[in-house]
Structure 1
Amino acid sequence: MCGGAGTRLDRGEKPLFEVGGVPMVERVLDALDESRIDTAYAVTSPETPETADRLRGRAPIVETDGEGYVADLTDAVGRVGRPVVTVAADLPLLTSEPIDRAIDDHDGGALTVCVPAVLKRRLGVSVDTTRTHGGRELAPTGLNVVGQRGGETMRASYDARLAVNVNRPGDAAVASAFADSIDGGASDGS
């Protein structure tokens, strides 16, 4: 999912924002390429024409109307089919391991991978949405599996790399610090 305008980040097209010298969307696509995913689609919108241009030839483009994350996600899933793994482009520290783990944990319904909100707060990144599950306050990571049937499973992960969604300048600083500590800023996400 790489159709966000990035208004809170205020640094141009959000998917092209660089963390450790690499656009976030490229980092996410690298993680998907290293996972068991067969085909990674780039879901863009009218808000991200430069992203669509950059990714042509790297991934099939699914252009949505840009009506918001949920509407664009619904549109994209309707076009590519189910089951499908969805990943937000603002998750620049993602690696193949959590993607493959989500595939393994998927039971046919919907799977939402979350992190404890307290982990996000300890890392100093923004917490925009939370849900209470099992007595814990959890924040969605942007990694999901949309399945063939109804019902949702929420899985909590304590992987700090999944807790860093880049939505604001402060989040970008945290992501950059993590990326700089992995391979001197030229992280392959492992």
Structure 2
Amino acid sequence: MCGGRGTRLDRGEKPLVEVGGVPMVERVRRVLAASRVERVYAVTAPHAPRTAGLLDCPRIEAPGEGYVPDLQHALADDRVAEPVLTVAADVPLLTPGTVDRALDAAEGATTVAVPVGRKRALGVTVDTAFRAGGRLLAPSGLNVVGDGEGLAVATDRGLAVNVNRRRDLRRARWLAGAPAASD
């Protein structure tokens, strides 16, 4: 999912914002290529033409109406069959191991969430939170879409750091250079 406008970042096309000298969307693409994921499609949008031009994988052009409508558009494409792993381009610290662990934990449709306390400990913002099993959780930007409804909770910093604001970007850039001792 890489059609973000990046309005809260004020840096142009969000997927092209660099962390560690590499556009976030390219960082995610490389991680997916090194994971057990078999096929990668980039869901782009009309307001992210430079992102679409950068990508070296098949693309599905969505209307650019937001994450959920664009995801629904992508899932309606004949090339994509459920279950499907969805990953937002704004999780630049994702690792192949994190992706593989999420796939292992998935049972049908699975929302992968991170404890809000973990996000706060890493110094990143929390835009959305929900309670499940007595825990306050935040969506991670990685999900499995399919039959059923499941929840997997992870503490990997690669899932905890979504770049939505300038503060998140500064933190992601700093963390990109720091060892991942806690993962």
TM range (shorter): over 0.9
Greater mean alpha carbon deviation, residues 154-163 or residues 165-174: 154-163
Cα RMSD (Å) of the superposition? 1.4
What's the CA shift for 1:92?
Answer: 0.1
Residues 98 and 158 of structure 2 are in contact (CA less than 8 Å); yes or no, is this contact kept in structure 1?
Answer: no
Give the whole-Å Cα distance in 2 for the aligned partners of 1:111 and 1:101. 12
Where does residue 92 of structure 2 map in the other structure?
92
Matched, 1:166 2:179: no
In structure 2, stretches of 5+ residues that fail to align are none
Give the whole-Å Cα distance in 2 for the aligned partners of 1:91 and 1:139. 13
What's the CA shift for 1:61?
Answer: 0.7
Where does residue 153 of structure 2 map in the other structure?
156
Residues 112 and 153 of structure 2 are in contact (CA less than 8 Å); yes or no, is this contact kept in structure 1?
Answer: yes
TM-score for both structures, normalised by structure 1:
0.91
Where does residue 126 of structure 2 map in the other structure?
127
Note the alpha carbon deviations across 1:15-38, whole angstroms, 9 max, x for none: 000001000000000110001111
In structure 1, stretches of 5+ residues that fail to align are 184-189
Task: Read off the aligned partner of 1:162 and give its amino acid letter.
Answer: L
Ranges of 4+ aligned residues in structure 1 off by more than 3 Å: none
Task: Read off the aligned partner of 1:70 and give its amino acid letter.
Answer: V
What's the CA shift for 1:11?
Answer: 0.4
Note the alpha carbon deviations across 1:107-136, whole angstroms, 9 max, x for none: 22x111111011111211110111101100
Q: Alignment length, in residue pairs?
A: 179
Matched, 1:72 2:52: no
The SS at the match of 1:181 is coil
Where does residue 113 of structure 1 map in the other structure?
112
What's the CA shift for 1:182?
Answer: 4.8
The SS at the match of 1:10 is coil
Note the alpha carbon deviations across 1:43-71, whole angstroms, 9 max, x for none: 0001110000111xx11011000111100
Matched, 1:6 2:3: no
